[in-house]
Amino acid sequence: MPYAIVTGASQGMGKVISEKLLAEGFSIAVCARSKDKLAALQAEWNEKYPTASIIAYDADLTNKDEVAAFATTVLAGFPEIDLLVNNAGMYLPGTIADEPDGLLDQMIGINLYSAYHLTRKILPVMKSRGKGHIFNMCSIASLRAYPNGGSYSIAKYALMGFSENLREELKESGIKVTAICPGATYTPSWEGSGVHPSRIMEASDIAAMLWSAYNLSPQADVETIVIRPVKGDI
């Protein structure tokens, strides 16, 4: 049985990706800040996927010690890690000149440092086996500046840089690194926005692209996936 880690999995893309992996026969370890949401999901998934091992851990991934504790729990429970999805993230709009003091630290903490610190904890296990696949959930904000991107966009640019450096370092190890850059995708953050769900992508689209990239031959790595609504960005 293959084993995966998905961060930020209590809702939205992380939840849908987790369910796709469970449906494909994975055991998964997930984390998020909401203990109640995770408990409800674990109960639901245990009933729907009885053969899977599921670790649900509440953690604030901006806290390095909590990242380490999550990784320790996962590595104690799973014999190997085949797939790591660094999905935890947060969007708060702003402009560099006017956004609240501390916003950059907050955006870097959740959108970059969470992936950096967790990846460093998991890499030794992947390296020992000479295989694995790391997906970093970047954004179209990783590719170009746009109004009110502010510190969020800075953090997502940094996550893309992390992805590219990591890929370069690991290319002789058999470990793949893929950056996924979605445009507007319908998740709970869009509820109440006034944007009709048909105007933007579905979270299942992102899960399908991840699964397709994961299933390529061992010698092929999709480096960057850019996926936008058919009518363009919002």
Q: Which of 3, 49, 57, 152 is an active site residue?
A: 152
Q: Give the max Cα distance, the chain.
A: 52
Q: Which amino acid is at 73?
A: T
Answer yes or no: 186 catalytic.
no
Closest CA to 23 of 48, 59, 43: 48
Which residues are tagged catalytic? 152
